Amino acid sequence: MKKKRKTQLRAVIGIGNYKGGVGKTTTTLNLAMALHLQGYRVMIIDMDRQANLSSCTDWKPDMELNHYPTIYHVLCEDAPIPVYRSESGLYYCPSTSIMNKVDQQLPTMRNPAMKLTRALQKAPDDRTGEGITDWTTDFDFILIDSPVGPQVLIDNILIAVNAVLIPINLEGFALNGLQNYLAYIQEIRETENDELTNLGFLVSRRKANVRGQREAEEQLKQRYGKQVLPVAISEREAVAKSQREFTSVYSIANAGTPREEFTLLANEIIKRTKTLLQ
């Protein structure tokens, strides 16, 4: 696999939406893999207590019992961000069920919403033995999988990143929730993080031949124009299966279409980070 010779962090991207089940975790993992397969060095950070993203890495719950650090330790104990490496080639910081405690613990600490930002200003805690010392020179992309709450975690992410990618479903009240999320992004941009850029909306579970969905997608495009990404991810059994097997679509059979779609997504993200950031 080709390796880019010199890395220079292009983007710290939060993958977020107030809604659950819209494909945030699926997008984080597969976009990360697609970027990695193009030769980029990619770090993924799991901020969700459900730890679904972590289960798609080499992280094992017994590591937690043996006191290997996780995102919890970063947020609640001011630990540097641990960097582990998965067999797949992705670098990751896992979440854990003890993230349940952040709701109570974080708000009692000083500047609770700044924890992730501060951690990214410190050197990483290299657990790979590869000599990782610096976010900027060791990585091209950092992708952060967002939970739907508590708010303090969403704040941590939106303040720390320079970009967000918003997976959406076109069902029911999807667009109402979207407006709330966008309004909140705008608020954070005005108060805490003026670099915060919206990379766009990704239709992440596009159903074939469902008329209501097509109409909703048209509405979305009319309203938000180019903010709607020109690529979408089709709803496919192969995507669901890859999640059930705790891996990406790049390591299961019969996943040609999702692979192509996530590769197109990666190309679009590379393009947008080039043109919209800096």
Q: Which is nearer to Mg ion, 46 or 140 (CB)?
A: 46
Residue nearest to Mg ion (CB): 25
Q: Which is nearer to Mg ion, 25 or 95 (CB)?
A: 25
Among 23, 69, 124, 200, binds ligand ADP (CB under 6 A): 23
Q: Closest separation between CB of residue 24 and ligand ADP, Å?
A: 3
Q: Closest separation between CB of residue 99 and Mg ion, Å?
A: 13
Among 35, 116, 233, 269, binds ligand ADP (CB under 6 A): 233
Q: Closest separation between CB of residue 45 and ligand ADP, Å?
A: 14
Q: Which is nearer to ligand ADP, 99 or 132 (CB)?
A: 99
The window from 61-69, 119-127, 222-230, 238-246 that contacts ligand ADP (CB under 6 A) reads: 238-246
Q: Of Mg ion, ligand ADP, none, which one does residue 10 interact with (CB within 5 to 8 Å by kind)?
A: none
Q: Closest separation between CB of residue 52 and Mg ion, Å?
A: 5
Among 24, 41, 49, 85, binds Mg ion (CB under 5 A): 24
Q: Which is nearer to Mg ion, 24 or 205 (CB)?
A: 24
Alpha-carbon distances, residue 218 vs 9, 33, 84, 224 (angstroms):
34, 29, 42, 10
Residues 39-78, interacting with ligand ADP (CB under 6 A): 52
Residue 49 lies near Mg ion (rule: CB under 5 A):
no
Rule CB under 6 A: which residues touch ligand ADP? 20-26, 52, 204-205, 233, 235-236, 239-240, 243
